Amino acid sequence: MKRFLPIAIGIPARHVLTFLILFCSLQSFEQATGDYRSQTSGNWNTVANWQRFNGATWVTATVANGYPGQNTSTANVTILNGNSMTLNVSPANPIVSLQMGSTTSATNGTLVFNTGTILKVNGAVTMGNSGVLSSGTINMAAGGNTAG
């Protein structure tokens, strides 16, 4: 009779089950359909400056997708390493979270607010990676503020 491999090498079934539960839960923290990331520097409302995760891969955003916050389906937004995005509009809808720069290396992204623009973020704003010397930058026009 064949035995299940982990049992055959002495790994208790509860450890295998724990590993599977943890592995599956980690998958939920990856990209989700509707997430955006910059693909070049430029204005926030230029759709071609963004990629959108379609559930399987990153693709260039379309006019139907809009830019982050233009439509209600925006989830997480990442300004990639070395990219500088200028918030030249106040998106109608809030985004879930904002990541500036890499979460794994010492690099950064930049967000520049034009006068009078507002970006609503319902969750975390993360600048770079807390585990590596890195940074993100937010530049606000005179009179700009943050509110929570």
**Does any domain span residue 144?**
no
> CA-to-CA distance for 49 and 60, rounded, in angstroms?
8
Same domain, 44 and 90: yes
| Same domain assignment for residues 25 and 58 | no
Query: Residue 19: which domain range?
Result: 1-30
Q: How do residues 94-130 score in pLDDT, each as one tens digit? A: 999 998 886 665 567 888 888 889 999 998 888 776 4
Number of domains the chain is built from: 2
Q: Is the same domain home to 21 and 66?
A: no
Residues 86 and 101 in one domain: yes
Q: Are 116 and 129 contained in the same domain?
A: yes
Q: Which of helix, strand or coil describes residue 62?
A: coil
Establish if 148 belongs to a structural domain. Answer: no
**Of 85, 90, 87, the residue nearest 141 (C-alpha):** 87
Same structural domain, 72 and 2:
no
Residues 65 and 17 in one domain: no
146 in any annotated domain: no
**In the structure, what pLDDT confidence band is assigned to residue 16 with cuts at 50, 70 and 90?**
very low
